[in-house]
Amino acid sequence: MSERSPLLVPLVPHSPECADDISDDDEFLKISRIFSRGNADSYSLAEAYRSSFSTTTARRSVSRRRGINSPTDDDDITNDDDGGRGGATVLQTSLNVAKICTGTGTLALPYASEVGGLLFNAIGLFAMGAWNYYSANCLLRCAECPPTDRRDPEEFDDDFDDDGPPTSTRRNRPPPGMTAYGRVAWRASGPVGVTALDSLMLSVFVGIVIACEVAMMSFIDGTPLTTGSRRLDLLIPNAVLIALSCAPDVGFLGRYSGIGLAALAASFAVISWQGFRQNGCDGFRRPLVESDLWPETISAASSWFGVVIDSMAEPRHINLSLRMGLLMVYVGYVVISNGIRILFSPSYVFDGDVLQAMPSAWISSHLVRLLMTLVLSVTAPLIVIPCGELVEGKLVTMLGGEDGKRKHTPTRTRVLVRVPFCLTCMVLSEFVPNGFVHLVSFIGSFCGGTTGLVLPPLFCLQLSMISPTAIPSVVPSTEGSAAAAPANNVVGNAADRAGQQPAIAAAAPVAPAASRMPSDTAFTQQRIRAWQPVLDPRYVIAAFLMIGIVFIPTGIVLRNKSNGLVSLHTIYESHLKDGPAADVTGCEIGNNPNAMYLDGGRTCKIRMKVPDDAETMQPPVMVHYELYNFYQNYRKYVTSFDINQLFGLSIYEQSDHPCEPLLKIGNITINPCGLIANTLFNDVITLESIVGPDGEVIPNAPLVESGIAWESDLVWKYRQPVGFRSEQCPSCDLCDCDEVDDETGGAMWSCREPFVDADGNCFKYFYPDDDTTLYLYETYPMVVSPLDGVTNEHFVVWMRTAALSHFRKLYGYIEVPIPPGSVLTFEIMANFAVQRNEGAKALVVGNNYAFGGKNHWLGTLFVAGGVISATLGLMFLAKEMTSPRKLGDRAYLRHKED
């Protein structure tokens, strides 16, 4: 051993025979001398050395000298674009771990809590998560151990070559094209272990993907979005699945795992809202029930550990990612299983998945099914990618030769392997019977439990029996002060080599010089934290796909909801030149300005029938009046009112008052003044009867005309004039409007006769300056009562001007359900003239939903926008997969020539 070897012994504690091989590398010796001055442990030094190089060759060199087969050395499938590693951060890897563990199986968690009891359910979930963590740590420890001394006879001759005797780095070396999990199986059990592991993993992948396809079909079948064809139903979900499955590694899917978890959280938020809507908080007040049955719901995360490690930017943090991911899963499982079960406990006992507790016809149930379809679309690629890498590793090795010099799977190979795999699973899922799905699920669960919960401790036990000192007791870490010491020593060594000594700052205070430099604060020096995302292709692709995934189902739902609404429309007077004619006769008043004072020729009846094939019109059934060619949006019209007068205050007279020319009539002040108030729609609409399909009149079905205006308008914008008062009389005979005020000697009331309301009650009232003011109840006595004045809700609705010349306004609503085939009869007293403006009037009866009345254009717009966004997202994703462009690459810069 050379004289330099003592510096290298601490770096390789488990295989000191590697020192002779290491001493021949001058670059490694230089870095080792620098690091040898620190007090960090050997693993931290080696990790610091490995992380100081960004190229794949340097990492492979360090891996050899540590005496282990690292992924960059033994794996033929790496990512050149990322320097041999993936780009997944700790958070993204944690999200991947959490998303692998969670899926649509969470819908059965409340049932597990129902069977196992709340307390033991939480304890059992914790035990399952702890065993997952232990299994993953077993694999991590196995991955850190050096190759064993056991060799097959045919490998012995290959170890002797021109370079000298065999070294530990080439003993029992796994064949190229093998995943990290496969390398552990090779070291522990040889080819037999790798064959068994590959068979189990392929069974897991195929079974789970087929089960995901079947689940997506079942979810879509229960929604209004189904087309009736399984292939068409799976078209959009499989397009997303295939696009994501062609990603280079699992690390690429970190952001999409977050989308899947968000969709899963949104699903259970909707379910929780449904439970709270049904039962409130009654379930949390009930006594808790315990059971000794332990549920088994968390799937093993450790079986995917090799793919997850290879996708990380900093693999040394895999332990932290496992803890974070499993902790998120545990907390989420406990909250979902126990919380949902308690929430539904007063009204429902779970005997299956949670969707059975939700009404199938409700929009909340459809929303949960669509969200679960999205969850499966972003979960299945986490299964397809490892399966593809398992096949591609061997395929690329065959194409690249026995030495396995290929650094990553070509894009063409990924597409040729993974796309047919997804399409095959989709075809199989379309034709498999329902009973076969249970068998596939059982096989997948059995193989998944074996690869994730049984094999890791078994491999760890085998390796410890082969070489007791080879496996570390804990997974090493480079966090903390151990990693800081090498950095400091690098700086110090660099100064020593330059012949410089560190300068010691003088202790004497120095008077500050005059400077215009701002103070050293985070604000003045612009060091305040800010989120400055780089909108790389992944963000843009994710945004476009999310818009498409959200907009297309939303548009389809909106169209279906709009088509399910009933809208009855009847034009009862029309003077349009190019528009539709009136549907009924007898309501025309022509251009008679005194129509409201005529005794005949202005009252008609309109009958509307609900279609026999329509759905029952659920209350409230809205009744609108509709006007054509009436320009409330004209600027002079919109501004023609006095806000103080509407609020009950005195009018402020000025030469250019906005109410002109309807401010005064001679010496009579108009209150309220202006064009809007004095063109009030004053047709009187009355619901005469509703006759059901059986010919019976539906009782208690009045047209309610209260509650149609905005509450804020009634409170803050409209009030009776200051000084107004009213009083209900004991009886109409005792109601005297000529009563004299004893103090002033004047009239105490301004009414000429009492006002009688619809219930027969008599009122007397007083308006100030009644002799010199024309009030609203005097202008429109058929619509506005003296008790309401400007607070009349029909007037308040009219004062909110329309933006278009063709508009409708709410007149009232019906509070009883109207079955199909019913006939509604309205009586209309026509007072509003439309001939002068060549307009028309119509009566509209219909029901609404959350986005208003019947309107198919809204859904069409959503669908069109979603299709465009999804198409762009898939195009950009295909471009990124086939010919990616490295972000910030200076090779694309073009300098201006002189």
Tens of pLDDT, residues 753-773: 899 998 889 999 999 988 899
pLDDT surpasses 80 at 479 = no
User: Which of 1.10.132.50, 3.30.70.890, 1.10.10.10, 1.10.4160.10 would CATH assign to domain 87-154+177-472?
Assistant: 1.10.4160.10
- Which residue type, as a one-letter code, is found at position 238? N
Element (H, E) at 607: strand 603-609
Selected residue with higher pLDDT from 375 and 114: 375
- Which residue type, as a one-letter code, is found at position 391? V
Residue 514's pLDDT is what? Answer: 58
- Give the other-Cβ count within 10 Å of 752's Cβ: 8
Query: For the chain, what is the largest distance between any 2 Cα atoms, rounded to a whole number of angstroms?
Result: 131
Selected residue with higher pLDDT from 730 and 173: 730
Selected residue with higher pLDDT from 817 and 485: 817
Arithmetic mean of pLDDT, 271-293: 61
Q: Cβ distance 728 to 762 under 8 Å?
A: yes
Selected residue with higher pLDDT from 292 and 808: 808
Residue 89's pLDDT is what? Answer: 59
Q: Residue 795: helix, strand or coil by DSSP?
A: helix
Residue 721's pLDDT is what? Answer: 93
With tokens 């069977």, the residue in question is: 115
Per mean pLDDT, which range of 347-351, 644-648, 659-663, 829-833 is the poorest? 347-351
pLDDT surpasses 60 at 821 = yes
Per DSSP, the residues of 19-75 read HHHHTT-HHHHHHHHHHTTS---HHHHHHHHHHT--SHHHHHHHHHHHTS--HHHH-
Residue 555's pLDDT is what? Answer: 93
pLDDT in tens, 244-274: 777 776 666 666 666 777 777 787 787 777 7
Pairing of strands 773-775, 668-671: parallel
Selected residue with higher pLDDT from 119 and 782: 782
Arithmetic mean of pLDDT, 352-372: 69
Of the candidates 785, 630, 646, 649, the residue with the CA atom closest to the CA atom of residue 706? 785
Average pLDDT, the chain: 71
Element (H, E) at 717: none
Of the candidates 251, 203, 225, the residue with the CA atom closest to the CA atom of residue 373? 225
Residue 73's pLDDT is what? Answer: 37
- Which residue type, as a one-letter code, is found at position 484? A
With tokens 């609108």, the residue in question is: 624
pLDDT interval class at 30 (50, 70, 90): very low
pLDDT interval class at 88 (50, 70, 90): low
Helices 235-245 and 180-221 sit at what angle, rounded to 10 degrees?
Answer: 160
pLDDT interval class at 17 (50, 70, 90): very low
pLDDT interval class at 710 (50, 70, 90): very high
pLDDT surpasses 90 at 680 = yes
pLDDT surpasses 80 at 678 = yes
Residue 708's pLDDT is what? Answer: 96
Residue 210's pLDDT is what? Answer: 77
Taking the alpha carbons of 691, 695, 697, 701 in that order, is the dihedral positive or negative? negative
- Which residue type, as a one-letter code, is found at position 416? L
**Most confident region among 146-155, 242-251, 472-481, 571-580 by mean pLDDT:** 571-580
Residue 156's pLDDT is what? Answer: 40
Selected residue with higher pLDDT from 59 and 588: 588
The share of the chain scoring above pLDDT 90, in percent, equals 25
How many helices (H) and strands (E) the chain has is answered by 28, 14
Q: Which two tokens stand for residue 735?
A: 């109601």
Residue 78's pLDDT is what? Answer: 36
Residue 172's pLDDT is what? Answer: 54
Per mean pLDDT, which range of 149-163, 173-187, 881-895 is the poorest? 149-163
Rounded distance between C-alpha atoms, residue 564 and residue 559, angstroms? 8
Residue 293's pLDDT is what? Answer: 38
Arithmetic mean of pLDDT, 499-526: 58
Selected residue with higher pLDDT from 295 and 881: 881
Q: Which two tokens stand for residue 480?
A: 């903390």
Selected residue with higher pLDDT from 743 and 573: 573
Q: Cβ distance 764 to 737 under 8 Å?
A: yes
Question: What angle is formed at CA 552 by the lines to CA 428 and CA 382, rounded to 5 degrees?
Answer: 45
Domain boundaries, the chain: 87-154+177-472, 566-724+767-847
Per DSSP, the residues of 375-417 read HHHHHHHHHHHHHHHHHHHHHHHHHHTTTT---S--HHHHHHH
Residue 427's pLDDT is what? Answer: 77
Arithmetic mean of pLDDT, 405-421: 70
pLDDT surpasses 80 at 556 = yes
The share of the chain scoring above pLDDT 70, in percent, equals 61
Residue 321's pLDDT is what? Answer: 64
Residue 547's pLDDT is what? Answer: 95
Arithmetic mean of pLDDT, 207-232: 74
pLDDT surpasses 70 at 475 = no
The side-by-side arrangement of strands in the sheet containing 807-814 is 567-574, 840-846, 621-628, 807-814, 703-704
Residue 265's pLDDT is what? Answer: 78
Contacts 24+ apart (CB under 8 A), 62-65: 62/28, 64/18, 64/21, 64/169, 65/8, 65/11, 65/12, 65/18, 65/21, 65/22, 65/25, 65/28, 65/169
**Residue 588: exposed, middle, or buried by beta-carbon count in 10 A (0-12, 13-18, 19+)?**
buried
pLDDT interval class at 55 (50, 70, 90): very low
Element (H, E) at 696: none
Arithmetic mean of pLDDT, 191-219: 77
Q: Cβ distance 96 to 88 under 8 Å?
A: yes
Residue 641, phi then psi, degrees to nearest 5 = -165, 165
Rounded distance between C-alpha atoms, residue 103 and residue 693, angstroms? 48
pLDDT surpasses 50 at 134 = yes
Selected residue with higher pLDDT from 303 and 682: 682
**Most confident region among 160-164, 209-213, 284-288, 760-764 by mean pLDDT:** 760-764
pLDDT surpasses 60 at 709 = yes
pLDDT interval class at 333 (50, 70, 90): confident
pLDDT surpasses 70 at 112 = no
